[in-house]
Amino acid sequence: MISDNMKIIDGINHSQNLIESVKELILKSERLNKRKPSIAVILIGENSASEIYVKNKIKTAENIGIISKKILYNSAITEKELLNKIKELNQQKDIDGILVQLPLPMHISEDKVILSIDPKKDVDGFHPINLGNLFLGNNNGMIPCTPLGCIYMLKKELGPLNGLNATIVGRSNIVGKPLQSLLLKENCTTTITHSKTRNLSEFTLKADILIAAIGMTEFIDNSYVKDKATVIDVGINRKKINDKIKILGDVNFNDVINKVNLITPVPGGVGPMTIACLMYNTVKASFLRNNHEFKEIIFDE
């Protein structure tokens, strides 16, 4: 009998392996550009989850040799002030990547902020130009970090994905839609579903690869999962259990573990890969915006 541990996709281990490859790219970038790659991270207001995310991103960057610039604003900053700051960062030659931590205060338009970032510095991969390139099958732009991390793990665990049925539960611009484009490029047959899909299990039970990104705590149980499926759980949900905050995914891990072939845990699955891919995008930006050739490593077989 296969043990549960053998079924777990270790996102921490995969992220460390990718980071090792990124370190080599950093050294090459430094030789070509005569400086280290750099990222500016903007954090607005006091959101404990966002503060943790930014802290982890900055720490990882500094540990591997990426220069990080942390820019803090209180929630009273105006939209105009923020857009002016982004314009300033766009023009700074020594800044390769710009990341504005989401969510934003209600009075600031997320769409305007995303549009204001130079697509070549958009290391989150959310700008319409980058998403458009991805939709057209062009990997030369910035690709959203979480979908990129999912593809990296899937390819490392399963090898070529040709012909596999992949179902995504969730249609966000950040995860669901970009993942569909990436899976299509890998020759998967893809289905994208969401909270309004009728008879959802009819679609998920056909999936060799099931990706849960619906933002509903432990929504996916074993009635949605095909035998021997590979499950990627993108969900990060906070739930208070016995006076402690616990991080749970969109998949009921304990309910599906005996049915699946492979599964990412929460935490320790997709999360570490997202940060590793942010580092990858930052270094990629340092190559492309300085007109240096960049060889993709994420999509190597």
Beta-carbon contacts of 71 under 8 Å, excluding residues fewer than 6 positions away, are: 40, 41, 42, 43, 85
Q: What is the pLDDT of residue 220?
A: 97
Q: Pairing relation of β-strands 244-248 and 237-241?
A: antiparallel
- Provide the angle, in degrees to the nearest 10, between the axes of the packed helices 145-158 and 176-185: 40
| 239 or 18, greater pLDDT | 18
Task: Give me the helices (H) in 40-96, please.
Answer: 48-64, 79-91
Mean pLDDT of 147-173: 97
| SS3 of residue 199 by DSSP | coil
What's the pTM?
0.95
**69 with 81: CB under 8 angstroms?**
no
Tally of residues, the chain: 301
301 pLDDT more than 70: no
- HEC readout, 81-125: HHHHHHHHHHHCCCCCEEEECCCCCCCCCHHHHHHHCCHHHECCC
Q: Cis before residue 37, ω within 30 degrees of 0?
A: no
**Helix or strand run (H / E) with residue 210:** strand 209-212
Helix count (H) and strand count (E) of the chain?
11, 10
Does CATH number 3.40.50.720 belong to domain 144-270?
yes
| CATH code for residues 34-118 | 3.40.50.10860
| 50 or 114, greater pLDDT | 114
Q: What is the pLDDT of residue 1?
A: 42
Using CA atoms, how far residue 299 sits from 43, 127, 140, 259, in Å, is: 31, 21, 12, 29
- Provide the angle, in degrees to the nearest 10, between the axes of the packed helices 270-288 and 48-64: 60
Q: What is the pLDDT of residue 94?
A: 95
Q: Band the pLDDT of 122: cuts 50, 70, 90.
A: very high
Least confident span in 24-33, 59-68, 133-142, 268-277: 133-142
Mean pLDDT of 88-106: 96
Tens digits of residue pLDDT in 41-90: 999 998 888 899 999 999 999 999 999 999 999 999 999 999 999 999 99
| Angstrom distance (rounded) from CA 49 to CA 157 | 30
Active-site residues, by number, are: 57, 101, 124
Q: Pairing relation of β-strands 38-44 and 67-73?
A: parallel
Tens digits of residue pLDDT in 204-234: 999 999 999 999 999 999 999 999 999 999 9
Q: What percent of the chain has pLDDT over 70?
A: 98
Token pair 């503060």 in the structure block, residue:
51
Q: Which residues belong to CATH 3.40.50.10860 in the chain?
A: 34-118
Q: Which residues belong to CATH 3.40.50.720 in the chain?
A: 144-270
